[in-house]
Amino acid sequence: MLQNVSLRDPRVEEAVALWAETGLPVVSHCGVNSYYPDDSPEAATQNPAYGNLEDFMYLVERLPQVKFIAAHAGGLTGGEAETLAAHLGGAENLWVDTTFRSAEEMRMLVELFGEDRVLFGVDRPFGGTRAAVKTAFEASGRARSCPRRSCTRIWRSSSAWPSEARAHLPPEVRGKVLPYATSPR
């Protein structure tokens, strides 16, 4: 979406198939929406249509050896999670995340995909960790708030991931992965 390339582009399939050698999942933004206002300089770098759920499902089906995570559980405009579950529910290579989902929607995702296929998500910098953790606790029925130490620990571990991921790549793959793809932010 932000790279201005369709998920059906053969270059995407080739890159994702190569990434599969790492054993790490591919997170794909799902949902047809814009990140940037039309008058911003970054607007030209996006094509909201490339967040199309059908294109994501196509890629998941084409590459069963790749672990995929559907950001936003397929999208946020309505019905995407249900569509994803109807077409790919039970797929061994698919997980969904809870970014920008309410507690009620999180419970629905567990019903649709199973608790082992629903991952906690935040979508930083657009979403806040504390609010997302609080909503996840509410969805689980365990608590109504996020203890400060827990939220801080979650944030620190999630922000360290990119640099750690590169260290675990096989040497023959490490040299092929673009530096910006795994550099710390």
Q: How far is residue 183 from each of residues 24, 113, 160, 176, measured CA to CA in Å?
A: 15, 32, 10, 14
As given in the structure block, the two tokens for residue 58 are 């196509």
**Helical spans, DSSP H, in 71-178:** 80-88, 103-113, 129-140, 148-159, 161-167, 171-174
The strand pairing partners of 94, in sequence order, are 68
Digit-by-digit pLDDT tens for the chain (185 residues) are 346 778 889 999 999 999 999 999 999 887 665 555 667 776 666 555 666 889 999 999 999 999 999 999 888 888 999 999 999 999 999 999 998 899 999 999 999 999 899 998 887 777 778 888 888 888 888 755 555 554 444 444 444 444 444 455 556 555 544 443 333 33
Q: How far is residue 130 from each of residues 44, 72, 99, 144, 155, measured CA to CA in Å?
A: 32, 17, 12, 12, 9
Cα dihedral 49, 51, 53, 59 sign: positive
